[in-house]
C-alpha cells in the first residue's frame, strides 16, 4: 500500500509456534520482554476496526494474521477491499492466544478485560485510542508505523495526508460558513471530537460550538430551527442500517426552516476512525464549501 | 358535588399545563411570541406549531392513556398496585417497539412501531391476567408482572445484544428511557386513533367496575357480564398503552401514582376514578415533560427517567402503607 519495502524480503519467515502451548508462548513473551527494540513483528493481530485500517495501510500483508469482524465491511472500513481474504476473529483472549501473535493492536473500545489478559500473559499489546484531531492522527500513524517496523511508510503517509489537508485549507473565506453535524436522534459532535476537527480543517465553523456542546451532545430541534446553518452533514451517510431516529432529519419543522439548506451525506467509513483517509472527509467538505461560495456569489450578483 | 368540582379543578390544571408546555422550550419565547407563533408564520411559528404543539399534544395523550389504564387495571384486578408498567404492559410494548427497530420495520411503515407496541402490550395484559387468575392476591399479581417484565426485558436486551449496528442498539436503549422530544404531528396522527378507541373501551367499563368493587358474585348478580368487561379492559389497556409507548417509549409509574392521589376524592369508586385519572395523568406527564425541558441543557434528561424518579419512591411508600393495612 504505502510503497515497497525491501527489508521485508530479507526478514526470515516467522517461526510457526501454533500448537506448542504455553511454553512457546512464554518463550515468545520472554523474547519480547528482553528485546524491546526487536525486529519487526511478523504475526500482528488487530482487535479493532480502526487498528485494522492502520495495520493494512502500514504493514506488509505477510505481517497481518487476523483482523476484527468488521474489517471487510465497506460501510465501516475504508480498507475493506484490502482486508479481503485475511482471517477475522471476534478477538477473545483464547482466539488471540491461539494465533500466537507477536503484536496485538487494540482499540479504545476493545474489551478491557481481553487487553488486560493478553498483557498479563506477556503479549505485546498496543492500545490505540480514537484520535480527536489531526495532530493525534499523525502521532498514532507514527507510533504504529514504528511498532510495525515501517517508520518510513508512516512518514510518507503523514506527508501525503498533510498535502491533502493543505490543499483543502488554502482558500478558506472569512467569515467561515457554518456547518452542523446531524447524528441519529438529534445528537451532534462539538469541539473535542474528530468530526469537529474535520470541519475546522475543511474551513467550516461548527454550529455545535456556538451552543457550547462538547464532543457529543444533543441539540434540540427548536434551537437548530432558529440558527439554520449553511450546511447540514448527515453523519450516517447513506448507510442502509435500519434506523428510525434518522427520521429526525425529515421532521417537518426542519424541512420548513432549513428548506434549501444542502445536506451532505458523509460516508461513515471516512471519519468513524481517524487516520490518513480522514483527509478524504476534509476534501469532500472543502469541495462543498467552494460550491456554496460560488452559489452565494451568484445569488449576490443576481440581486439588484 | 365533589365530582364536578374535582373535574373542574383538573380541567383548569390541564389547561394550565398545556399552556406551560407550549411556553417552555430550549429557545426562550415570550408568551406573546408563542401566541403569534400559533396563529402566524415565520420561524417562531415553526417552533410553536411543528415542534412544541405535537410534543404538548402527545404529552397530554400519553399521560391520559397511562392514567386511565392505571385506574382501570386497579379496578379490574381490585388491587392498588396494578399499573401498566408493573403488570408488564409497558415493557412488553417496549419490546414490541424494539423488535420493530431491530428488524428495520420502523422505517418501513409509520404504523409498524405502533402496531408492534400494541401487540406487545396486549400479550402482556392477557398473560398476566391468565397467570394471576381472577381473585389475584397482591403477591401473585406482582409475581406474574415481574415474570412477564423480566422476560420482555431479556428479549429487549437480546435485541440490543444482536443489533446490527451501534446506532440500532443506542436507539433501542434510548427508546426505553422514554421521551417526547422532537416529535411531529405525524406521531400524533398515528397514536391518537388507537388511544381514543382504547379510552372508549376503558370508560365504557365504568359501571361494571363499580359493581366489581363489591365482589364478583355481587357484580354477577347485578347483571354484569364479567367476561365481556375483562375483554374490553384488556383490549382497551393494550390499545391505549401500546399506542402511548409507540410514540414516547416507556414512561412508568404515571398509571400508579395518579389513580392513587385521586382515589380518596372520588369516594374510592373505581368507575368514577377513570376520567379524573385520565386528566390527572395528562397533567402529570405534561409537567414532567416541562421539567425535562428545564433540566436539559446540553444532554436531554429523558422523560421516563423523571417519572421513574418521582414514581419509585411513591411506590415504596405505597408498599409500606399496603403492608400496614394488610397486617
Q: Which domains occur in chain B, in start order?
A: 59-326 (1.10.3470.10)
| pLDDT (0 to 100) of residue A273 | 92
The answer to the question of residue A137 being in a domain is: no
Percent of chain A with pLDDT over 70: 82
- What is the arithmetic mean of pLDDT over B202-221? 86
Q: How confident is the model at residue A18 (pLDDT cuts 50, 70, 90)?
A: very low
**What is d(CA A275, CA A194) in angstroms, rounded to the nearest whole number?**
10
Cα of A252 to nearest chain B Cα, Å: 7
Contact A185 B107 (CB under 8 A): no
Contact A217 B43 (CB under 8 A): no
The pLDDT tens digits of the residues spanning B86-125 come to 778 888 888 988 888 777 666 666 667 778 888 888 888 7
Q: How confident is the model at residue A39 (pLDDT cuts 50, 70, 90)?
A: confident
Whether pLDDT at A24 is above 50: no
Whether pLDDT at B285 is above 90: yes
**What is d(CA B200, CA B204) in angstroms, rounded to the nearest whole number?**
6
The pLDDT tens digits of the residues spanning A95-130 come to 999 999 999 999 877 778 888 889 998 999 999 999
The answer to the question of residue A49 being in a domain is: yes
Higher-pLDDT residue of A138 and B186 is A138
Same domain, A178 and A109: no
- What is the arithmetic mean of pLDDT over A208-218? 88
CATH of the domain at A15: 3.40.50.1980
Same domain, A82 and A177: no
Domain count, chain A: 2
The answer to the question of residue A147 being in a domain is: no
Query: Which residues lie below 8 Å from residue B131, measured CB to CB, with a gap of 6+?
Result: B140, B144, B147, B148
* Of A18-27, A195-204, A233-242, the least confident: A18-27
The answer to the question of residue A159 being in a domain is: no
Same domain, A120 and A190: no
Do B302 and B179 contact (CB within 8 A), yes or no?
A: yes
- What is the arithmetic mean of pLDDT over B281-305? 87
Task: Say which residue the cell 527489508 belongs to.
Answer: A7
| pLDDT (0 to 100) of residue A44 | 96
Disruptive mutation site among B48, B50, B295 for chain A (greatest number of A CBs within 10 Å)? B50
Cα of A293 to nearest chain B Cα, Å: 25
Three-class secondary structure of residue A94 per DSSP: helix
Contact B167 A245 (CB under 8 A): yes
Do B326 and B268 contact (CB within 8 A), yes or no?
A: no
Same domain, A119 and A177: no
Q: What is the pTM of this model?
A: 0.79
Say which of A186, A226, A256 has its CB closest to residue B181.
A186
Percent of chain A with pLDDT over 90: 49
| pLDDT (0 to 100) of residue A28 | 45
- What is the arithmetic mean of pLDDT over B290-315? 84
> Which DSSP symbol is given to A20?
S
Q: How confident is the model at residue A17 (pLDDT cuts 50, 70, 90)?
A: very low
Whether pLDDT at B44 is above 90: no
Q: How confident is the model at residue A23 (pLDDT cuts 50, 70, 90)?
A: very low
Whether pLDDT at A4 is above 60: no
Phi-psi region of A261 (alpha: psi -120 to 50; beta: other; left: phi over 0): beta
Give this complex's ipTM: 0.71
The answer to the question of residue A40 being in a domain is: yes
Whether pLDDT at A298 is above 90: no
Same domain, A123 and A177: no
Which of B133-147, B191-205, B309-323 is the most confident on average? Answer: B191-205
Strand order in the sheet with A205-206: A205-206, A178-182, A231-234, A263-265
**What is d(CA B257, CA B237) in angstroms, rounded to the nearest whole number?**
17
Disruptive mutation site among B161, B171, B174, B293 for chain A (greatest number of A CBs within 10 Å)? B171
Domain boundary among A111, A129, A147: A129
- What is the arithmetic mean of pLDDT over B51-59? 94
Closest residue, chain A, to B45 (C-alpha):
A253
Cα of B156 to nearest chain A Cα, Å: 16
Contact A221 B107 (CB under 8 A): no
A171, three cell numbers? 482558500
Contact A242 B50 (CB under 8 A): no
The answer to the question of residue A180 being in a domain is: yes
Same domain, A11 and A111: yes
A289, three cell numbers? 464549501
- What is the arithmetic mean of pLDDT over B305-312? 86
Cα of B300 to nearest chain A Cα, Å: 7
Domain boundary among A129, A149, A181: A129
Same domain, A125 and A178: no
| pLDDT (0 to 100) of residue A237 | 67
Same domain, A116 and A233: no
Same domain, A125 and A234: no
Contact B50 A256 (CB under 8 A): yes
* Of A40-54, B43-57, B72-86, B279-293, the least confident: B72-86
Say which of B43, B104, B105 has its CB closest to residue A225.
B43
**What is d(CA B311, CA B309) in angstroms, rounded to the nearest whole number?**
6
| pLDDT (0 to 100) of residue B109 | 66
Higher-pLDDT residue of A138 and B112 is A138
- What is the arithmetic mean of pLDDT over B42-49? 85
Same domain, A177 and A291: yes
> Beta-strand (E) ranges in chain A?
44-46, 64-66, 103-107, 125-128, 178-182, 187-188, 205-206, 217-218, 231-234, 263-265
Same domain, A192 and A276: yes
The pLDDT tens digits of the residues spanning A243-274 come to 444 455 677 787 777 777 888 888 888 998 99
Q: Which of B249, B273, B296, B265 is nearest to B70 (CA)?
A: B273
- What is the arithmetic mean of pLDDT over A159-168? 96
B226, three cell numbers? 364479567
Q: Which domain holds residue A124?
A: 7-129
Cα of A75 to nearest chain B Cα, Å: 11
| pLDDT (0 to 100) of residue A29 | 45
Partners of A107 in beta bridges: A128
Q: Which string of b and e fits A123-150 if b means at least 16 CB within 10 Å?
A: bbbbebebbbbbeebbebbeebbebbbb
The helix (run of H) or strand (run of E) holding residue B91 is helix B89-102
Mean pLDDT over each residue of chain B, to the nearest integer:
85
The answer to the question of residue A138 being in a domain is: no
CA B79 to chain CA centroid, nearest Å: 18
Domain boundary among A74, A94, A129: A129
**What is d(CA B229, CA B134) in angstroms, rounded to the nearest whole number?**
13
Three-class secondary structure of residue A264 per DSSP: strand
| pLDDT (0 to 100) of residue A86 | 95
To 10 degrees, the CA torsion angle through A130, A136, A140, A142? 170
The answer to the question of residue A251 being in a domain is: yes
Treating both helix axes as pointing N-terminal to C-terminal, what angle do B270-295 and B254-262 enclose, rounded to 10 degrees? Answer: 130
The pLDDT tens digits of the residues spanning A272-296 come to 899 999 999 999 999 999 998 888 8
Amino acid at each position: 500500500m504505502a510503497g515497497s519495502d525491501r527489508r521485508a524480503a530479507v526478514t526470515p519467515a516467522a517461526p510457526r509456534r501454533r500448537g506448542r502451548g504455553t511454553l512457546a508462548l512464554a518463550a515468545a513473551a520472554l523474547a519480547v520482554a528482553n528485546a524491546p527494540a526487536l525486529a519487526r513483528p511478523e504475526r500482528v493481530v488487530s482487535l479493532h476496526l480502526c487498528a485494522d485500517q492502520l495495520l493494512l495501510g502500514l504493514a506488509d500483508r505477510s505481517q497481518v494474521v487476523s483482523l476484527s469482524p468488521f474489517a471487510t465491511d465497506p460501510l465501516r472500513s475504508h480498507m475493506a477491499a484490502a482486508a479481503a481474504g485475511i482471517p477475522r476473529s471476534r478477538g477473545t483472549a483464547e482466539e488471540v492466544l491461539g494465533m500466537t501473535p507477536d503484536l496485538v493492536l487494540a482499540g479504545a473500545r476493545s474489551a478491557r478485560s481481553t487487553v488486560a489478559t493478553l498483557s498479563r500473559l506477556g503479549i505485546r499489546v498496543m492500545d490505540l485510542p480514537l484520535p480527536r484531531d489531526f495532530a493525534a492522527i499523525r502521532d498514532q500513524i507514527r507510533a504504529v508505523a514504528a511498532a510495525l517496523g515501517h517508520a518510513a511508510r508512516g512518514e510518507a503517509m503523514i506527508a501525503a495526508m498533510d498535502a491533502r489537508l493543505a490543499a483543502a485549507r488554502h482558500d478558506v473565506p472569512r467569515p467561515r460558513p457554518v456547518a452542523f453535524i446531524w447524528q441519529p436522534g438529534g445528537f451532534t459532535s462539538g469541539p473535542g471530537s474528530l468530526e469537529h476537527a474535520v470541519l475546522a480543517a475543511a474551513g467550516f465553523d461548527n454550529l455545535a460550538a456556538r451552543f457550547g456542546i462538547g464532543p457529543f451532545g444533543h441539540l434540540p430541534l427548536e434551537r437548530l430551527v432558529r440558527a439554520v446553518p449553511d450546511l447540514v452533514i448527515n453523519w450516517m451517510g447513506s448507510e442502509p442500517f435500519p434506523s428510525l431516529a434518522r427520521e429526525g432529519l425529515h421532521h417537518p419543522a426542519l424541512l420548513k426552516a432549513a428548506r434549501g439548506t444542502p445536506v451532505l451525506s458523509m460516508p461513515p467509513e471516512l471519519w468513524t476512525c481517524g487516520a490518513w483517509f480522514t483527509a478524504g472527509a476534509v476534501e469532500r467538505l472543502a469541495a462543498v464549501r467552494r460550491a456554496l461560495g460560488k452559489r452565494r456569489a451568484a445569488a449576490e450578483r443576481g440581486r439588484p | 358535588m365533589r365530582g364536578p368540582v374535582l373535574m373542574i379543578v383538573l380541567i383548569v390544571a390541564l389547561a394550565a399545563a398545556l399552556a406551560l408546555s407550549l411556553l417552555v422550550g430550549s429557545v426562550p419565547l415570550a408568551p406573546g411570541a408563542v401566541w403569534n407563533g400559533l396563529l402566524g408564520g415565520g420561524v417562531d411559528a415553526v417552533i410553536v406549531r411543528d415542534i412544541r404543539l405535537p410534543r404538548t399534544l402527545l404529552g397530554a395523550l400519553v399521560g391520559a392513556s397511562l392514567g386511565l389504564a392505571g385506574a382501570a387495571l386497579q379496578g379490574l384486578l381490585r388491587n392498588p398496585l396494578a399499573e401498566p408498567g408493573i403488570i408488564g404492559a409497558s415493557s412488553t410494548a417496549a419490546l414490541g417497539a424494539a423488535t420493530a427497530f431491530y428488524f428495520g420495520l420502523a422505517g418501513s411503515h409509520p404504523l409498524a412501531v405502533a402496531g408492534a407496541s400494541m401487540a406487545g402490550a396486549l400479550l402482556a395484559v392477557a398473560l398476566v391476567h391468565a397467570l394471576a387468575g381472577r381473585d389475584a392476591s397482591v403477591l401473585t399479581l406482582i409475581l406474574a408482572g415481574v415474570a412477564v417484565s423480566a422476560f420482555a426485558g431479556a428479549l429487549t436486551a437480546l435485541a440490543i445484544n444482536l443489533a446490527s449496528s451501534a446506532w440500532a442498539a443506542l436507539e433501542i436503549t434510548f427508546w426505553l428511557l422514554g421521551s417526547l422530544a422532537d416529535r411531529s404531528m405525524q406521531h400524533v396522527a398515528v397514536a391518537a386513533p388507537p388511544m381514543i378507541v382504547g379510552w372508549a373501551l376503558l370508560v365504557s367499563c365504568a359501571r361494571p367496575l363499580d359493581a366489581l368493587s363489591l365482589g364478583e358474585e355481587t357484580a354477577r348478580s347485578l347483571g354484569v357480564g364479567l367476561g365481556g368487561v375483562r375483554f374490553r379492559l384488556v383490549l382497551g389497556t393494550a390499545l391505549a398503552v401500546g399506542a402511548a409507548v409507540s410514540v414516547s417509549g416507556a414512561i412508568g409509574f404515571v398509571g400508579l401514582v395518579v389513580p392513587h392521589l385521586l382515589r380518596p376524592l372520588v369516594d374510592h369508586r373505581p368507575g368514577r376514578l377513570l376520567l379524573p385519572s385520565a386528566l390527572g395523568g395528562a397533567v402529570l406527564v405534561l409537567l414532567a415533560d416541562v421539567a425535562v425541558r428545564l433540566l436539559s441543557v446540553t444532554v436531554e434528561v429523558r422523560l421516563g427517567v423523571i417519572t421513574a424518579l418521582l414514581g419509585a419512591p411513591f411506590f415504596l411508600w405505597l408498599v409500606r402503607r399496603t403492608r400496614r393495612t394488610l397486617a
